[in-house]
Structure 1
Amino acid sequence: MSFISAPSSSAPSAISPVAGFLEGLGFSAEASRMLIPLALALLVIAGSEILRRAKFRRRRSNGFAGRSAQRDTGPRLVHGDDHMRLVAGAEFERTPLLNRSEARILPILEGIAREVGRGYRVMAQVSMGEILCAKGSNGSRDHRAEANRAINAKRLDFAIFDPRGLIVAAIEYQGSGHHLGSEAFMRDAVKREALRKAGINLVELQPDADAASIRMLLQELTDLPLRKPRPDAPRAQASRAPSS
C-alpha cells in the first residue's frame, strides 16, 4: 500500500516579509533564514521597550492626587529618582496623625486595652496590607496578588492587637461627612469585606460615641476578652456580621 503525501501549501510564510527584507539588504536566502529569529527577537525587544516608556510617561503625567487619594492609592510614580526629585523640590511640615475627633477616641481605646491587659495594644492609622493577606486556598496566584493590592494602601482608624500581633478589633470613626461620595462608600465596603473574610467585624463609631458605648460595641462585636457588662447596663444596638 502506498501513501500519497498532500502537497505543501502555497500560502506565503508569515515570516516571508522579514526574509524578503533581509534579502533586499543583500543577504543570501540561506543567510536570511538564519537571521530571521534574531530579527524577530530584536523586534519584540524594541516593542516591549516602547510600551514600557509609554506606560512610564502616563504614570508621570498622572502625578500625585490629594492627600486622601495618596492615603488609599499610594504614589503613581515608579522610580526612586522621581520620588527624590519631588521630595527635594518640596517643603514639609508635621501634621497630626489623628484629627481632633479621632484623638478623643484613642485614650478610650487605650483604657480598654489596659483593662484587657496581657499585652493587648492599640494602634492608629493601621495599613490593612500589613495585617491581612489573601489566602492561597481560593483563586489563582494573580488573583490573590490583585486582592492584596486592593487593600494594601487602605487604613483603619484604629486597631487592637493581641500579644502575637494579630488584629482582634478594627475600629472606624464615622465622623460627620464621612460618606460624602461613592468612592468613600466603596472604600469602606472593601475594608469591611476584607475584614469579614478574615473573621473580624468592623466596629463603626458614631460622632457621639462615648467610653461606655464603645466598650459595649467591642464587647458585642469582637473577641476581646472583656468582662461581661452588668445585667442592668444597656446593650449596644449592633449585631455581629455574618460569617463567610
Structure 2
Amino acid sequence: MTQDLNLPFLALSGIAILGGLIFVVLLLNIVGAALRPQFKLRPLMNKAESAVYRQLVKAAPAGWVVMCQVSYGSFLSNKSRKRYWTVNAKRADFIITDGGSDVVAVIEYQGSGHYGSSRQGRDRAEKSDRIKRTATTEAGIHFFELPKNCGPDHVARLFDALIPAPATELEKA
C-alpha cells in the first residue's frame, strides 16, 4: 500500500523537476537574448566613398548602373574552386554595369583607410588588389583604381575609357 502512495508522489516530483528544468532553460534563453549584442545599422559607405559614388552616378551614361560593395563572387566564376575562393568574399568598392546585368568595370577606391595603418595592413591590401586586378583582367572586365581625393574630371576620364568613340566618316567607309 505504501508503494501505491509513492508512485503518484514520484510522478508529481518528476513532472515538477521537468517543469523546473524547462523554466530554467527558457529563462536562460531570454536572459541570453537580452545580453547578446544586437545588430545595428551602419553606413554602407564612408563619406569619401559616398562622394565618389555620387560622382560615378553623375558621370555614368544614361541607363548604366553603379553599385557599391558588391562581392566579386557574385559576378566572377572560375572552374577551380581554389581560385574562386580567392575572390569570392572580396568586395568591389564599385561596379558599373552597361544597363543590363553585364559588369563592364570595377572601381577600387584607394581612400585614406585602404592601406591600413601598418606595413602588414599595406601588404595585405596590395596582395588583395593584385588578386582582384588579375581576376578582373582574366574575365575581360576593366579595373580602375581611383586615388584618394579624385575629382569629377578623373571620374569622367574613366567613363571615356569605357565608352567607345563614335566612328568617323573615314572609318565607316
Task: Select the structure that is richer in strand.
Answer: 2
Q: Secondary structure at the match of 2:111?
A: coil
Select 2:126's aligned residue among 169, 179, 185.
185
Q: Secondary structure at the match of 2:134?
A: helix
How many Å separate the matches in 1 of 2:159 and 2:64? Answer: 14
Q: Secondary structure at the match of 2:84?
A: helix
Unaligned runs of 5+ in 2: 1-31, 167-173
Task: Give the Å deviation of 1:225.
Answer: 5.0
How many Å separate the matches in 1 of 2:101 and 2:147? Answer: 27
How many Å separate the matches in 1 of 2:125 and 2:114? Answer: 8
Unaligned runs of 5+ in 1: 1-84, 137-143, 228-244
Q: TM-score, normalising length from structure 1?
A: 0.49
Query: Runs of 4 or more off by more than 3 Å in structure 1?
Result: 224-227
**What are the within-5 Å matches in structure 2 for residues 81-230 of structure 1?**
89-113=36-60, 116-117=61-62, 119-134=63-78, 136=79, 144-180=80-116, 181=121, 182-220=123-161, 223-224=162-163
1:169/1:224 contact within 8 Å kept: no
Q: TM-score, normalising length from structure 2?
A: 0.67
Structure 1 residue aligned with 2:8: none
Equivalent residues, number? 129
Q: Secondary structure at the match of 2:83?
A: helix
Structure 2 residue aligned with 1:47: none
**Identical positions, percent:** 36
Q: Which amino acid aligns with 1:188?
A: D
Structure 2 residue aligned with 1:11: none
2:136/2:142 contact within 8 Å kept: yes
Task: Give the Å deviation of 1:112.
Answer: 1.8
How many Å separate the matches in 2 of 1:96 and 1:226? Answer: 37
Higher relative contact order (CA 8 A, sep 6+): 2
1:29-87 CA-to-partner distances (Å, cap 9, x unmatched) read xxxxxxxxxxxxxxxxxxxxxxxxxxxxxxxxxxxxxxxxxxxxxxxxxxxxxxxx99x
Q: Which amino acid aligns with 2:83?
A: A
**What are the within-5 Å matches in structure 2 for residues 49-60 of structure 1?**
none
2:73/2:87 contact within 8 Å kept: yes
How many Å separate the matches in 1 of 2:153 and 2:107? Answer: 15
